[in-house]
Amino acid sequence: MLRTFPCRCGLVISLVFGFCHPIQAQAPVKDFNTADGIAIGLGLALDVGLRLFKGKEKTITDFPVKSNFERIAINNLSLRAKKHSDIMLRGFSPAIAVGSQFIYDDPKRTIYLSLETIILTDLANLLAKKLVRRPRPFTYNPEVIHNPTSCHAYNKDKPDANLSFYSGHTAHVASVIFFTNSMLWLYKPEYRSKDWAWIASGLLPAMVGYQRVMAGKHFPSDVFVGYLAGAAMGYLIPVIHENNEYDSDLTEDFLLGMGVGLAAQYALIKLLGNRRAGKYDCVSTSSAVKWKVSPVVGPFTGIRLSLHLE
């Protein structure tokens, strides 16, 4: 109950605000139906349930790393890169999601869509993590010892050490960035000629994916899949709800942004990913804290107490 109470409060507040705020008669985005309510409610319930689900334990012998490109991540241990990716996930990304609501002048629809996008992105990511249970790259590193008290960030004995596939950080940032761009495209016609914005949007999740590889938290394939999953969710949710009376096709710009981002991510990992990220000198800073206050699901479900899943 304690863990889900903040979620419920945030959800109720967002729903009340969405219904009570006056909206325009016409908009590039349709009104919502029962399917949207089911997607949000069921997605939130499954999200909480999946965090408590424990699947079959797997080890590094179940996932041999044969590709040299994948092996780039094994020797990377960088707390700085981990911290930078955390800032993007828990600070920058929610700020964009909240700030974008004041741009569209259509808060009912945009709050619902952003809530649906973030929850479904989180649900898909958790489902993949719990079912696949791929060990993280640092678990293959012989320098990282099995010592629960030596390092909170690189602890082979934590359940989180087997949740590598796919990158939640990359997926979440990509979904928020591409959702914001898609909504700007629909609501601001003057924005449709600004290709530079899509290119910039594609680069931001790419940087997060690169940081996750440098931190030794994810393999390159984890961040590529995370990028694709998050970008697709951020693009598809607005497109599915697009009002057919408004003639706009944002597919071309979306593909431009995603293509640039994936190419940049590959180049960063290929050119810089095999550099030594720093010796293993991690110290315990928060190993005694099992629960962390973190807006993992999104800014409209409230500041929630959640499992520290990365």
pLDDT tens, residue by residue, 202-241: 999 999 999 999 988 999 999 999 999 999 999 999 888 8
- Rounded to the nearest 10°, the torsion over CA 180, 49, 129, 225 is -20
Nearest to 47 by CA among 132, 147, 119, 133: 119
For residue 166, whether the previous peptide bond is cis, meaning omega lies within 30 degrees of 0, is: yes
Instruction: Compute the distance between CA of residue 69 and CA of residue 71 in angstroms, rounded to an integer.
Output: 5
Please, where are the H alpha helices in the chain?
A: 5-20, 34-52, 68-71, 79-87, 93-104, 107-132, 168-187, 195-214, 220-240, 251-272
CA atoms within 13 A on the CB side of 97: 29
Q: What are the tens digits of pLDDT across the range 52-93?
A: 777 777 888 888 888 888 988 888 888 888 888 888 887 777
Which pTM was predicted? Answer: 0.81
